[in-house]
Amino acid sequence: MAAKSIPTQFEDISRDDSWARTKDLLRQFNNPALSWEESQALLAQMFAQCEGATVTPPLFMGGGRNIRLGKKVYINQGLTISGGAPVSIGDYTLIAPWVQIHATTHPVDPWERQQVAFTAKPISIGENVWIGAGAIICPGVTIGDHAVIAAGAVVSQDVARCTLVAGNPAQVVRQLDEPDMATIYAKREG
């Protein structure tokens, strides 16, 4: 099922206090003078949900209040998330450095592009996904549980669970074995 686009007018951006608040929190979070504990404590204010996630600065995003991080998500440095629509990242997902997650896009038609600031489609990233360095996740994409996105991949279509994709545009490289759910998280929970 295709994700529904959410159009945003230029005037809506200038009146949105949450964007200004997010930018203020990001300035604090990305401040190198902050201790690790201080930066991690800001996460609960920056995201709609953040259950024991670890995020390494710097972080770049807009509209953090519609972004949900699952339990024990690990995000390495340089993640960019352009919100505008809900973005959910499932439990135990690992995100490598300099990944881009873009729920927003702009109209292709030049006239329409001047009327609408951007459109956005929700992104859903499943449980125990690994997203390699420099990968780009496009608007409206759903990535299934236990999938692997290779470094540098540009994901513009949904990715099935337990699938490895690579390339631009991302293509299926191979199917992965289903994990043993009885033992998969034992080390991280122990």
Residue 97 to residue 38: CA distance in whole angstroms: 21
Checking if the pLDDT of 7 tops 90, the result is no
Q: What is the pLDDT of residue 21?
A: 83
pLDDT in tens, 9-61: 545 544 556 778 888 999 999 999 999 999 888 998 888 888 889 999 999 99
Quick one: 75 exposed, middle or buried, by C-beta within 10 A (0-12, 13-18, 19+)? buried
Average pLDDT over residues 101-114: 86
Domains and CATH numbers, the chain: 8-172 (2.160.10.10)
Residue 4: pLDDT band (50, 70, 90) is low
Q: Which residue has the tokens 């191979």?
A: 174
Of 12, 142, 34, 185, nearest in space to 43 by CA:
34
Q: pTM of the predicted model, to two decimals?
A: 0.88
Instruction: Indicate if 102 belongs to the active site.
Output: no
Q: pLDDT tens for residues 110-140?
A: 888 787 777 889 999 999 999 999 999 999 9
Looking at 23, 106, 113, 188, which residue is catalytic?
A: 106
In tens, the pLDDT along 134-188 reads 999 999 999 999 999 999 999 999 999 999 999 999 999 999 999 988 888 887 7
